[in-house]
Amino acid sequence: MKTILTGLRANSVFTIGNYLGALLPMVRLAKEHSGDYHVNLFVPDLHSLISEVDGGDLQANIMQSIKFYIAAGLPLNDNVHVYRQSRVPAHSELCWILNCVATMGEMNRMTQYKEKSEGKASVNVGIFDYPVLMAGDILLYSAEYIPVGEDQFQHIELARNLATRFNNRYGEVFTVPVSTAEQVKFMGVADGIRIRDLLNPEKKMSKSTKAENSKIMLDDTPEKAAKKIMSATTDSLGKIKFDMFNQPGVSNLLQIEALVSGVPLQDVVSTWAGETKYGDLKKKVASSVSGMLSEFQVRIEKSTEEQVYELLEKGEEYANRVANAKLLEVQKAVGLR
Ligand code: AQP
């Protein structure tokens, strides 16, 4: 059976960017394909350490992330596997082996590394290296489909390059994930999804951005979320049009409205074509987002610790079995066994 895999870092509560760009597409794929694919949704807790985290918060965030998966509608059947990365030591060992296949040149080109390190006096090595750990996360499970937001596409390409280079050097060990163009087709979206920062729509919305009003968190009260949308940056052109280049703020609102309401973007865009009042658009998006959050938060309340531990026990047994078998193949191929 083929594998679909994704992870969301548990360094803080998720934004609606994480939710709309990665979690919801994954849940939709799990609903459609978990009859005939393995679906791995894991907590990349080792990746969380690239941001400064408090140990106590991290544990709470890990547990909360899994409740988010359940609340987002993840089907809980035998082909769906939920696990914590740090409970599967093969991830760390494969990362080291792949570090010796990756080159400084390609790592230096990673846009996320450049963005996350920009303007910082000191940058931890994890921020530089995490795409290699991510490649291992994917290759250990022979995953072909990796639904992620557009910001992670370059890392999927890196995983493909590392797998191909390793196979050429040591023999056919890894399944090469499909190209990002095919990933997008499989996800059923026209392009990669990138929800923008509400205050600075040139940038993507990120959990770690300091400005509170730049992002909507999944635990924001519906009222707070609505206020953030009402204060989103737009422009002075006075026409509602989808044009990410010239009108990123307005286009971001249209994109959020489409994803939250489940209406195709084209239809949302034509509904608003010719309209000029940004306030009306904001009111509509604020109402859709706050409605979505209210429903989501009710579902979170219903998911229990017992459900989470039961999922993890089953998922981590499966993940260790599959990952250890692949790691042994790798160790044999490079001559460590
Ligand atoms: N703005 C976004 N729009 C669409 N998708 C997004 N993702 C992140 N931001 C957006 C997708 O969410 C998944 C999990 O992301 P992650 O936390 O593992 O890494 P990230 O890309 O670094 O996310 P953030 O929110 O920007 O985190 P911080 O601020 O902590 O670095 C991925 O599939 C990602 O594409």
DSSP letters, 163-193, are HHHHHHHH-S-SPPPPPHHHHHHHHT-SS--
pLDDT of res. 55? 78
- Around ligand 1, the residues with Cβ closer than 6 Å are 8-9, 11, 15, 17-18, 21-22, 51, 148-149, 151-152, 193-195, 204-208
With the most atoms of ligand 1 within 8 angstroms of its CB, the residue from 151, 197, 214 to mutate is: 151
pLDDT of res. 243? 95
Taking the CA of residue 148 as reference, the ligand 1 atom at the shortest distance is 33
Ligand 1: distance of its center to the CA of 39 in Å? 20
By alpha-carbon position, which residue is closest to atom 10 of ligand 1? 17
**Token digits for 174?**
């890894």
What are the tens digits of pLDDT across the range 65-91? 999 999 999 999 999 999 999 999 999
- Report the b/e string of 174-211 with b at 16+ CB within 10 A: bbbbbebeebbebbebeebbbbbbbbebeebbbbebee
Ligand 1: distance of its center to the CA of 15 in Å? 8
pLDDT of res. 235? 96
Q: What CA–CA distance (Å, rounded) separates 188 from 25?
A: 8
Section 150-154 average pLDDT? 93
Asked whether 44 and 7 are in contact (CB, 8 A), the reply is yes
With the most atoms of ligand 1 within 8 angstroms of its CB, the residue from 206, 216, 260 to mutate is: 206
pLDDT of res. 187? 87
pLDDT at 327 > cutoff 90: yes
Confidence class of residue 54 from pLDDT cuts 50, 70 and 90? Answer: confident
Residue type at position 69: Y
pLDDT of res. 11? 83
Which one has a higher pLDDT value, 2 or 55? 2
User: Would you call 236 exposed, middle or buried from its count of C-beta atoms within 10 A (0-12, 13-18, 19+)?
Assistant: exposed
Q: Which of 48-57, 97-106, 283-292 has the lowest mean pLDDT?
A: 48-57
Taking the CA of residue 44 as reference, the ligand 1 atom at the shortest distance is 18
Q: Where are the alpha helices (DSSP H) in the chain?
A: 16-18, 24-33, 45-48, 55-71, 90-99, 104-108, 111-117, 125-139, 153-170, 180-187, 222-230, 248-261, 265-272, 278-302, 305-334
Average pLDDT of the chain is: 95
φ/ψ of 121, rounded to 5, equals -70, -35
The DSSP bridge partners found for residue 196 are: 204
What are the tens digits of pLDDT across the range 203-257? 999 998 999 999 999 999 999 999 999 999 999 999 999 999 999 999 999 999 9
Q: Which SS3 state, helix, strand or coil, does residue 42 take?
A: strand
Section 168-177 average pLDDT? 98
List C-alpha distances in Å: 28 to 38, 69, 220, 231, 264. Answer: 14, 12, 23, 31, 15
Q: What is the set of active-site residues?
A: 116, 204, 207
